[in-house]
Amino acid sequence: MLELICISYNDYLIRGDFKVLDKDSLWQKLSTEFRKNTTDLTYDTWIKPVTPVDFDGSTLTLSLPSELHRDYWKEQLAPNLIEYAFVITKGNIEPKFILDSDIKKEAQKKEPAKADSTADDQDETFSFSKETHLNPNYTFDNFIIGKGNQMAHAAALIVSEEPGKLYNPLFFYGGVGLGKTHLMQAIGNKRLEDHPETNVKYVTSEAFTNDFINAIQTNRTEEFRREYRNVDLLMVDDIQFFAQKEGTQEEFFHTFNDLYNNDKQIVLTSDRVPQEIPKLQERLVSRFAWGLPVDITPPDLETRIAILKSKAKLDNLTIPNETLSYIAGQINSNVRELEGALSRVQAYSKLKNEPITTDLVYEALKGLKLAKANNELSIMDIQNKVASYFHVTISDLKGKKRMKSIVIPRQIAMYLSREMTSNSLPKIGKEFGGKDHTTVIHACDKIAEVIKIDADIRKEISDIKTALS
Ligand SMILES: Nc1ncnc2c1ncn2[C@@H]1O[C@H](COP(=O)(O)OP(=O)(O)OP(=O)(O)O)[C@@H](O)[C@H]1O
């Protein structure tokens, strides 16, 4: 990787021997490419309203006026942007999308606190509390109970009232977007509301791993241990990502023991039972089963309608009951997609300046509905699943980054698109950021070979296939 030598030069920065544009100049050049290659209507609707916010040499942050714009950019325009940017800068540029409303909200929030703000404050993610990293919206009040999550909900409530006693660790497992994180954080939020003195810590397993690696690199392992072992309630999300991380597992084992022996509460989530997490140490598997492992399954129709009703109320949306039932009937996979459908509908109604009716919803969700009616798995379904399984973005799958952590998921997604859909090789290539069909053939051959010798990848692919079928 070439070093960034920050020499300001008109609108250029110089990186190695490449010229790197600043955000406005880069965006101007990209807009010109889009104007050349799209219709006036597409340009005026989707590209013109975009504002460049930041460009750090590898990520271009763009602000968009609505959720609908964001969906459209992610699904349709991002691959073109990556390609145009590659031609312009000779580098891999990733787009990042934020909403104009988030920028406004953030500006308003910062305004009163300006006087005592610090550099650290500026790094905080929107609306997340600095100390605990809890999302304040993930509460028991906002959580709709249905058949698939009632056990998990009951256990969570008990743990929030009597941590460290009955179910330790509490272990939620289940598919993507079913509310594991929400429920876990609801425990933390309630505990803090009832007992503000409680020391609560929420991290993803990746954040734990990164903290640990940083601590080693900076000789601060003692500090790391003090931080993690001095809490009353530790929540670690998505622990399936501890798979194959020997050193982190070792450290987590000691963290776990320390907290457990001191009657501190541990809450964990994973997309599968501990026994199925590849290369998870046996002693961790058995410890995770000490408390209560409880699964969360997808919501039935009634629960989906109730969830939609509650989200609509939170967003002050007026939606007739039959329209809510219609939306709930269209999306039966997970709650995150249900929320996505609702925000797509909301944005569509704003754009058209019409009230939300079943007809309007039909139009807004047309693309999703068509895929469902044909009952065919789309390449997009596969990309979504693979991206969430490996925690990469859709842009990663469509882009050109050569890191192993991205290349393997990309090749797996191409392989599955070939295996599980009837799309031609050129069509698959096109859906992966306009790649040539020979790249797809190479990916398919590569994965077919790897499957023969690598049991972990074989298992991962089989998990994704099961989730897709
Ligand atoms: N029962 C529910 N009631 C209200 N909202 C819900 C419910 N279940 C899930 N959600 C919402 O769905 C979204 C996805 O949930 P969450 O992130 O908790 O899922 P997850 O199971 O942790 O997914 P992942 O495995 O991808 O991390 C969140 O916005 C959450 O608030």
Tokens coding 121: 């404050």
Q: Is residue 148 located within the same domain as residue 290?
A: yes
Tell me the CA–centroid distance for residue 339 and ligand 1, in Å: 9
Q: Is residue 145 located within the same domain as residue 286?
A: yes
Tens digits of per-residue pLDDT, 158-191? 999 999 988 999 999 998 889 999 999 999 999 9
Looking at every residue in the chain, the average pLDDT score rounds to: 84
**Does residue 218 sit within a domain?**
yes
SS (H, E, C) 244-308: CCHHHHHHHHHHHHHHHHCCCEEEEEECCCHHHCCCCCHHHHHHHCCCEEEEECCCCHHHHHHHH
**Does residue 220 sit within a domain?**
yes
Tell me the CA–centroid distance for residue 178 and ligand 1, in Å: 5
Q: Which helix (H) or strand (E) holds 221?
A: helix 221-229
Q: Is the pLDDT of residue 137 over 90?
A: no
Bridge partner residues of 61 (DSSP): 54, 96
Tens digits of per-residue pLDDT, 182-209? 999 999 999 999 999 999 999 989 889 9
**Does residue 112 sit within a domain?**
no
Over residues 111-125, the mean pLDDT reads 38
This prediction's pTM: 0.59
Percent of the chain with pLDDT over 90: 44
Q: Is residue 144 located within the same domain as residue 252?
A: yes
- Please answer whether residues 21 and 8 qualify as being in contact, where contact means their C-beta atoms are separated by less than 8 angstroms: no
Residue 398 Cβ < 6 Å to ligand 1? no
Q: Is residue 317 located within the same domain as residue 237?
A: no
**Does residue 125 sit within a domain?**
no
Tens digits of per-residue pLDDT, 321-373? 999 999 998 887 789 888 888 888 888 888 889 999 999 998 888 866 555 55
Pocket test for ligand 1, best of 134, 302, 336 (most atoms within 8 A of CB): 336
Task: Please tell me the distance from the alpha carbon of residue 379 to that of residue 425, in angstroms, as a whole number.
Answer: 12
Q: Is residue 266 located within the same domain as residue 184?
A: yes
Tell me the CA–centroid distance for residue 155 and ligand 1, in Å: 17
Task: Please tell me the distance from the alpha carbon of residue 62 to that of residue 29, in angstroms, as a whole number.
Answer: 14
Identity of residue 258: D
The count of structural domains within the chain is 4
Bridge partner residues of 63 (DSSP): 51, 98
* CATH code for the domain in which residue 337 is found: 1.10.8.60
Domain boundary among the residues 279, 295, 311 is at: 295
Surface-to-core class of residue 454, CB atoms within 10 Å of its CB (0-12 exposed, 13-18 middle, 19+ buried): middle
Q: Is residue 169 located within the same domain as residue 307?
A: no
Q: Is residue 357 located within the same domain as residue 402?
A: no
**Does residue 391 sit within a domain?**
yes
Q: Is residue 77 located within the same domain as residue 206?
A: no
**Does residue 111 sit within a domain?**
no
pLDDT of residue 68: 78
* CATH code for the domain in which residue 59 is found: 3.30.300.180
pLDDT of residue 343: 82
Domain boundary among the residues 45, 79, 104 is at: 104
Domain range enclosing 32: 23-104
Domain boundary among the residues 242, 269, 295 is at: 295
Tell me the CA–centroid distance for residue 134 and ligand 1, in Å: 14
Task: Please tell me the distance from the alpha carbon of residue 321 to that of residue 301, in angstroms, as a whole number.
Answer: 13
* CATH code for the domain in which residue 283 is found: 3.40.50.300
Q: How far is CA 218 from CA 22, 221, 222, 245, in A?
A: 33, 8, 11, 19
Q: Is residue 267 located within the same domain as residue 314?
A: no
Over residues 124-143, the mean pLDDT reads 67
Pocket test for ligand 1, best of 172, 182, 236 (most atoms within 8 A of CB): 182
Q: Is residue 162 located within the same domain as residue 259?
A: yes
pLDDT of residue 133: 74
Q: Map tokens 């306009």 to a residue.
A: 434
Q: What is the side-by-side strand order in the sheet with 94-99?
A: 51-55, 59-64, 94-99
Task: Please tell me the distance from the alpha carbon of residue 31 to that of residue 354, in angstroms, as a whole number.
Answer: 30
Residue 179 Cβ < 6 Å to ligand 1? yes
Q: Is residue 89 located within the same domain as residue 148?
A: no
Q: Is residue 178 located within the same domain as residue 321?
A: no
Tens digits of per-residue pLDDT, 37-91? 888 777 887 898 899 998 888 889 999 988 778 888 888 888 888 888 887 877 7
* CATH code for the domain in which residue 449 is found: 1.10.1750.10
Task: Please tell me the distance from the alpha carbon of residue 397 to that of residue 411, in angstroms, as a whole number.
Answer: 8
**Does residue 62 sit within a domain?**
yes
Mention every residue, 6+ apart, whose C-beta is less than 8 A from residue 305.
Answer: 324, 325, 328
**Does residue 84 sit within a domain?**
yes
pLDDT of residue 304: 95
> What band does 126 get if pLDDT is binned at 50, 70 and 90?
very low
